[in-house]
Amino acid sequence: MLNENYSLKNLNTFGIDCYARWFAEYSSADELREIVGTDLYRNSPSMLIGRGSNLLFITDFEGVVLHSAMRAVKLIGHDKSSVMLEVGSGVLWDELVEHCVRNGWWGIENLSLIPGEAGAAAVQNIGAYGVELCDVLESVKVLDLSTGQEISLSVEDCGYGYRKSIFKTSARNQFAILSVRLRLSRQPRPCFKYPHLEEEVLKRGEVDLATIRRTIIEIRTAKLPDPEVLGNAGSFFMNPLVSASKLEKLQKVFPAIPNYPADNQQVKIPAAWLIDQCGWKGKSMGKAGVYEQQPLVLVNQGGATGKEIAELAAAIQTTVANQFDISLVPEVNYIG
């Protein structure tokens, strides 16, 4: 049940050569309860892992790494206008999107090709092209790791925001996600909030699910490196939010600074632009690099350690802070 000294090289998309002291998979709540009831688990540090597409291992993990093998997708309800799905936390996210597109269920097509699993998607509140997971999420079933109790959390309970949830803040390490419930539309419901997306779809065909998915896949493939080829974790930093008055001050010095309205009268500034302005695009430090086509993506140019990538990230944070007085916050979770 518990594997000792388990390589995580294929379970982190940076491709960092690292190990878990112990590794265990669970395919049901009962199996997970059994693992977390062992003395070994209770006396060791522990963490959950999905596909490691949002993790940076700085060191090996000297404890128990848990991975969900709950891979069922169940249709648990439907009416004329919508379907309700219960999705196991170990289901590969993009396979789920493909399944929904094939069945004519609208809501997550804009989230095509995001790596990782359904459980982690609910931790991260994944988002892309104007859609966030919380837009279609109804509830999350979790196991409380200290009591072994199964609990259903409503979308409100999960405290979602931009790449934010209680699973990353107040309830960090408290719950293992077992499954997520999504409500998807059977009626066409395209989301074209993202600039030029509709144009791109129409260039390729009709406004239907298959064309939207193909468009998103083509755009993403052109912009982002394939982790199988060049290790990376997608956007390394979150786009910073600043107040309107701070933006005004910045605009006096940097009139071309791009910005988008965000919640609570704040403004979002693309982190990629800030990093690019500081001259980081295409640069490297040791075997860690800044991706030439998209400076928000840090890459493992081959054999980089997690520490090297973290050092590059810290150097970028320092120059952006010095030039713009803005703190870049990593979207990627550091382990170690």
Ligand X SMILES: Cc1cc2nc3c(=O)[nH]c(=O)nc-3n(C[C@H](O)[C@H](O)[C@H](O)COP(=O)(O)OP(=O)(O)OC[C@H]3O[C@@H](n4cnc5c(N)ncnc54)[C@H](O)[C@@H]3O)c2cc1C
11 versus 250: smaller Cβ distance to ligand X: 11
Q: Does 212 engage in binding with ligand X (CB under 6 A)? A: no
The yes or no reply on residue 48 touching ligand X (CB under 6 A) is: yes
Alpha carbon separation from 58 to 61, 152, 173, 228 (Å, rounded): 9, 33, 19, 20
- According to CB under 6 A, which one of 15, 88, 107, 127 is a site residue for ligand X? 127
Among 107, 116, 240, 295, binds ligand X (CB under 6 A): 116
As a whole number of angstroms, the distance between CA 116 and CA 51 comes to 5
Closer CB to ligand X, 82 or 124, in the complex: 124
Sketch the per residue contact string, 2 through 41, with ligand X: x for CB under 6 A, - otherwise: -----------x----------------------------
Give phi and psi for 199, each to the nearest 5: -55, -45
Binding mask 281-310 for ligand X (x = CB under 6 A): ------------------------------
Q: Which position among 163, 181, 183, 213 bears the catalytic label?
A: 163
Pick from 32, 85, 136, 176 the residue near ligand X by CB under 6 A. Answer: 176
Using the rule CB under 6 A, which residue among 18, 85, 114, 197 binds ligand X? 114
- Catalytic residue from among 68, 82, 179, 235: 235
**Short-list 264, 259, 261, 306, CA closest to 287:** 306
| Binding map of ligand X across residues 232-251, x = CB under 6 A, - = no contact | xxx-----------------
Residue 331 falls in the annotated catalytic set: yes
* Segment contacting ligand X by CB under 6 A, of 98-106, 150-158, 207-215, 224-232: 224-232
24 three-state secondary structure: strand
Please confirm, yes or no, whether 235 is among the known catalytic residues: yes
Instruction: Note the residue count of the chain.
Output: 336
Q: Which of 85, 97, 128, 274 binds ligand X (CB under 6 A)?
A: 128
Residue 175: phi, psi to the nearest 5? Answer: -125, 145
Distance CA 24, CA 9 (A): 16
The binding track of 71-110 with respect to ligand X, each residue x by CB under 6 A or -, is ------------------x---------------------
Decide whether 49 or 328 has the Cβ nearer to ligand X.
49
Locate all alpha helices (DSSP H) within 88-172, ordered by sequence: 93-103, 118-124
109 noted as active-site residue: no
> Measuring CA to CA, how many Å separate 135 from each of 156, 191, 200, 237?
11, 11, 23, 22
Q: How far is the CB of 150 from ligand X (least distance, A)?
A: 13
Of the candidates 92, 102, 111, 95, the residue with the CA atom closest to the CA atom of residue 210: 102
Contact 266, 242 (CB under 8 A): yes
- For 261-277, give the DSSP string: E-STTEEE--HHHHHHH
User: Which residues have CB under 8 Å from 218's CB, separation 6+?
Assistant: 204
| 55 lies in the site for ligand X, by CB under 6 A | yes
Judged by DSSP in three states, 211 sits in helix
At closest approach, how far in Å is the CB of 187 from ligand X?
25
Of 123, 250, 272, 309, the one binding ligand X by CB under 6 A: 123
* Size of interface with ligand X, in residues (CB under 6 A): 33
Q: How far is the CB of 57 from ligand X (least distance, A)?
A: 10
DSSP-derived 3-state class of residue 131: strand
Strands, E assignment, 112-268: 127-128, 131-132, 137-144, 150-154, 175-185, 231-235, 241-243, 260-261, 266-268
Binding site for ligand X (CB under 6 A): 13, 47-55, 68, 89, 114-117, 119-121, 123-124, 126-128, 167, 176-177, 224, 227, 232-234, 333
Q: Which residues are catalytic?
A: 163, 235, 331
